[in-house]
Amino acid sequence: MSETITRERRITWTDPAALAAEAPGSAGLDFIGKIVRGELPPPPIADLMEMRIVSAEPGSVVFTMAPAEYMFNPIGSVHGGAITTILDSAIGCAVQTTLPRGTVYTTIDIQVRFVRAVTLASGTLTAIGTVTHSGRRLAVGEAVLRDADGRICATATSSCMVVGAA
């Protein structure tokens, strides 16, 4: 067996309760826009996965994420859970951009289709989430994840429940 070489990673994040308390007080697009502009900190999952929301408009959000070794599964590619995380985030935040003040969402289900392996060679990934239906109680969205060369790596569809602020 070869020598094991360990690596270390340190992360920091801001209080998630403060960010969550901010969401229902703003219209969804304003809330997500504040994160994009750096007026609000990203949620802890974005810090953990090194994902960034780079743009938002009504019904659409763009995320980026660079593949990293800490995301690898046992066969040397990015774990499907990491890919699902960015797709779920893109769809959910796209849904949030359509919501009025006082409402938030929660994911009900997600279906992911993995098209190609993601490795360090894939370069920075871009996930574009869009809303295909936005109703009073249910929103539906889709997302596409592309590698740095524009090739599709994965797609997803998701349903989100729209709820009044807790």
Query: Please, what are the domains in the chain?
Result: 16-164 (3.10.129.10)
CB atoms near residue 59 (< 10 Å): 17
Angle between helix 28-36 and helix 80-96 axes, rounded to 10 deg: 130
**pLDDT greater than 80 at residue 165:** no
pLDDT in tens, 34-44: 999 999 999 99
Residue with tokens 């969205």: 141
Percent helix, percent strand, percent coil in the chain, to nearest 5: 30, 35, 35
Q: Which amino acid is at 102?
A: G
Q: Which pTM value belongs to this model?
A: 0.95
